[in-house]
Amino acid sequence: MTYLHANERRFIDELKDYLRLPTISAQAEHASDMVAGARWVADHCRAMGLQAEVCPTPGHPVVLANTPRRPGKRPRVLIYGHYDVQPPDPLEGWESPPFEPRVVGGRLFARGASDNKGQHFAHLKAVEAYLRTGTELPCDLTFVIEGEEEVGSAHLPEVLRRRRAELTCDCVVISDTGMPSLKLPALTYALRGIAALEIKVTGPNRDLHSGIYGGSVANPAMVLSQLLAGLVNQQGRVTVPGFYAKVKALSAFERRQMGRLPHQDAAYRRFLGSPALFGERGYTSEERRTARPTLEINGLTSGYQGEGSKTIVPSWASAKLTLRLVPDQSPASIVRLMKAHLRRICPPTVRLEVKAGHGAEPYWVSPEGPLAAAALAALRRGFGREPVLIREGGSIPIVVGFRKILRAESLLLGLALPDANAHSPNESFHLEAFSGGMRMSAHLWAELGQTLARRPASSAS
């Protein structure tokens, strides 16, 4: 801890160097910056004393870096992060250039500061402290820092499969989520999954003049509205039969944990700019947005959308939907339920097509298990505050990849504060979250070392 404190200024300077690299994975013109970014990470790891390798893929490379392997069997932990960042657009929204990091008011501003360079850099610096002070690491560690998180992690699963033998581990640590405030360090123990669908109904084989033909055929936009309208009722419940069958109920323990969060509906409503909050009856808005499944329309398309009016019965109408899923719902079976239900309720006056899009499994690791206990202890010691247990409403598909390919559970220890502006202009990383994160990480290896040493390697959760 002394080492971390004494070297913090240097760490910030190093992180600034890292943040100067415009590693924008989505933009082809940054391909060489992506290679430079991967090299920077590998070189930095080597300088710290890790064995590092830039592992090419058909897309952007993955950096693998591990602590020197020592004789004897120690618990093995994999630390995941990503060196790629979102595009900085809209540029005019930034108060200082996105790739010229600067510290203002205790926050380091730059694209990628919170998402995700600053967060995994905290883990790297905690490991550096062990290595430079000659302290024995209680676990063998491997960093997996990829370059395609912001574009879907298309090539990481293949790397995990190819290198499974060396990447096999007892658990995965990921700092790529959020914490409610500096006073509330958090372990995220669940994520929602997702199932995407596109619905299209087609009536006449062309747009029809609504004066000449209107009244003689069903209007596809009306039929679509009627199909969609019946999918969620006035109590905010999804009405598709069987939709809730596999939903694991929130335990009293979980609801108590959620109740500890400093959520205020009035302020939250103002933040969203919505006339009112709304959702499934019987749950708080915090529970609804993180721990309950939903059906959302993402887009509607039909007929004429320009200025003024065009008097047609449109030939077709379509809707894009995503369903957020919770344990133990699966995207494939929810898609099956949706398709069957829509076919059942669709009238014979239109043709119905339902196309399944991407899907991701929901994620849940016991908030009362030994891994969670180790993480909570590290958070408590690192931040000097009692941590909270939270669920997040989004999806991180790669955690399901780690579970399926490496059979390892993930601990999500997010360091991004609510004002971090990930994916938006003026992204920042709180320096207190950085220093707390480094301390948390240093404690985590000790806590996990003790916890994992006590259990057989095969039952990682």
Q: Which of residues 301-320 bind a second copy (CB under 8 A)?
A: 301-305, 308-314, 317, 319-320
Nearer to a second copy, 407 or 423 (CB): 423
Footprint of a second copy on 57-116 (CB under 8 A):
none
Q: Is 289 in the site for a second copy (CB under 8 A)?
A: yes
Among positions 393, 425, 432, 461, the unique one binding a second copy when judged by CB under 8 A: 393
- Least distance between a second copy and beta carbon 349 (Å): 4
Distances (CA, A) of 399 to 8, 165, 294, 335: 30, 18, 21, 21
Q: Which is nearer to a second copy, 27 or 311 (CB)?
A: 311
What distance in Å separates the CA atoms of residue 200 and residue 94, rounded to the nearest whole number? 40
Is 51 or 225 the residue whose CB approaches a second copy more closely? 225
The DSSP-derived string for 68-123 is: PP-SS---EEEEEEE--B----SGGG-SS-TTS-EEETTEEESTTIIIIIHHHHHH
Q: Answer yes or no whether residue 282 interacts with a second copy by CB under 8 A.
A: no
Q: Which of 29, 165, 276, 459 binds a second copy (CB under 8 A)?
A: 276
**How does strand 171-174 pair with strand 186-191?**
unpaired
- Structure tokens, 304: 């004429």
Which residues lie below 8 Å from residue 266, measured CB to CB, with a gap of 6+?
none
Contact call for residues 455 and 409 (beta carbons, < 8 A): no
* Window of 40-48, 49-57, 103-111, 210-218 that interacts with a second copy by CB under 8 A: 210-218
Residues 177-206, mask of contacts with a second copy (x by CB under 8 A): ---------------x-x-x-x----xxxx
Determine the residue type at 112. Answer: G
Nearer to a second copy, 288 or 403 (CB): 288
Please list every residue from 396 through 435 that binds a second copy, using CB under 8 A: none
Kindly state the number of chain residues that form the binding site for a second copy, as judged by CB under 8 A. Answer: 80
User: Between residue 353 and residue 392, which ones bind a second copy under the rule CB under 8 A?
Assistant: 357-358, 392
**Closest CB to a second copy among residues 7, 225:** 225
Closest CA to 79 of 67, 94, 95, 89: 67
Q: Which of 288, 381, 430, 439 binds a second copy (CB under 8 A)?
A: 288
Q: Out of 188, 294, 329, 435, point to the residue binding a second copy (CB under 8 A).
A: 294
- What is the rounded distance in angstroms from the CA atom of residue 445 to the CA atom of residue 451? 10
Q: Is 152 helix (H, G, I), strand (E, B) or coil?
A: coil
Note every long-range contact of 451-460, with CB atoms under 8 Å and residues 24 or more positions apart, other chains counting. 451/370, 451/371, 451/373, 451/374, 452/75, 452/77, 452/139, 452/170, 452/171, 453/74, 453/75, 453/138, 454/370, 455/370, 457/75, 457/170, 460/170, 460/171, 460/371, 460/407, 460/408, 460/409
Cα separation, 276 vs 153, whole angstroms? 36
In angstroms, what is the minimal distance from the CB of 290 to a second copy?
8
Task: Pick one of 30, 82, 324, 391: the residue that binds a second copy (CB under 8 A).
Answer: 324
Q: How far is the CB of 316 from a second copy (least distance, A)?
A: 11
Q: Smaller CB distance to a second copy: residue 61 or 359? A: 359
Among 369, 370, 394, 425, binds a second copy (CB under 8 A): 394
Binding residues for a second copy restricted to 120-179, rule: CB under 8 A: none
Q: Which is nearer to a second copy, 16 or 255 (CB)?
A: 255
Strand partners, 103: 108
Q: How many Cβ atoms sit within 10 Å of the Cβ of residue 298?
A: 12
Q: Is 348 in the site for a second copy (CB under 8 A)?
A: yes
DSSP string for residues in 331-356: HHHHHHHHHHHHHHHS-TTSEEEEEE
Find the shortest distance in angstroms from Cβ 370 to a second copy: 28
- Tell whether residue 50 is a contact of a second copy (CB under 8 A): no
What 3-state DSSP class applies to 320?
strand
Site for a second copy in 213-272 (CB under 8 A): 213-219, 221-222, 224-226, 228-232, 268, 272
Both tokens of 140, joined, read 């063998």
Q: Residue 260 CB, nearest distance to a second copy (Å)?
A: 18
Q: How far apart are CA 426 and CA 110, in angstroms?
A: 7
Q: Which is nearer to a second copy, 253 or 271 (CB)?
A: 271
